[in-house]
Structure 1
Amino acid sequence: MLIALVLLVLAGCDTGTSPKGQVQADSPTDNAKSAKADVGLESANGMRATLSYASAGQKAPMAVFADAKGGDVTLSDFAGRPVLVNFWATWCAPCKAEMPTLDALASLEKGRMAVIAVSQDLEGRPPVDAFFAKAAIKNLEAYTDSDNALLAAFNNQLALPTTILYDSEGREVWRVIGGVEWDDAEMAKLLREAA
Structure 2
Amino acid sequence: MKATPKTIAACGALAAILVGGLALYGTGPNLGNLVASGPCAEAAPVAARLAPLAHGDVAAFDASAAPRPAPAVTFRGPDGASTDLAAMGGKLLLVNLWATWCAPCKAEMPALDRLQAELGGEGFRVVAINVETRNLDKPPAWFKANGIAHLAYYGDPEGKVLPAVQSAVGSTGLPTTMLIDGKGCTLGVMKGPAEWSSEDGKTLIRAALSNGA
Deviation at 1:121, TM superposition (A): 1.1
Please name the residue that 2:13 is paired with: none
Answer yes or no: is 1:143 the counterpart of 2:157.
Answer: no
Q: 2:188 aligns with which of 170, 174, 178?
A: 174
Structure showing greater Rg: 2
Q: 1:104 aligns with which of 109, 114, 132?
A: 114
Answer yes or no: is 1:165 the counterpart of 2:176.
Answer: no
Deviation at 1:49, TM superposition (A): 6.5
Deviation at 1:30, TM superposition (A): 2.7
Provide the secondary structure at the position in 2 that maps to 1:62: coil
Is residue 46–residue 187 contact of structure 2 (8 Å, CA) maintained in 1? no
Matched letter for residue 100 of structure 2: T
CA distance in 2 between counterparts of 1:115 and 1:52 reads: 18
Is residue 126–residue 151 contact of structure 2 (8 Å, CA) maintained in 1? yes
Per the normalisation by structure 1, the TM-score is 0.74
Bigger strand share: 1
Deviation at 1:37, TM superposition (A): 7.3
Identify if the C-alpha distance between structure 1 residues 188 and 26 changes in structure 2 by more than 3 Å, giving closer, same or farther: closer
Identify if the C-alpha distance between structure 1 residues 99 and 180 changes in structure 2 by more than 3 Å, giving closer, same or farther: same
Q: 1:119 aligns with which of 130, 139, 143?
A: 130
Deviation at 1:94, TM superposition (A): 0.5
Moved more, 92-101 or 184-193: 184-193
Bigger helix share: 2
**Residues 78-117 of structure 1, C-alpha deviations (whole Å, 9 max, x = no match):** 1422111111110001100000111111111221301110
Is residue 64–residue 186 contact of structure 2 (8 Å, CA) maintained in 1? no
Q: What stretches of structure 1 of length at least 5 have no aligned partner?
A: 1-15, 17-23
- Number of matched residues? 169
Per the normalisation by structure 2, the TM-score is 0.68
Provide the secondary structure at the position in 2 that maps to 1:59: coil
Answer yes or no: is 1:188 the counterpart of 2:202.
Answer: yes
**Runs of 4 or more above 3 Å deviation:** 24-29, 31-34, 36-43
**Residues 39-94 of structure 1, C-alpha deviations (whole Å, 9 max, x = no match):** 97564xxxx87211247521122221111221001111114221111111100011
Please name the residue that 1:4 is paired with: none
Q: 2:99 aligns with which of 89, 107, 110?
A: 89
**Residues 116-160 of structure 1, C-alpha deviations (whole Å, 9 max, x = no match):** 100111226311112101111101111011222122323284321
Provide the secondary structure at the position in 2 that maps to 1:125: coil
CA distance in 2 between counterparts of 1:148 and 1:115 reads: 20
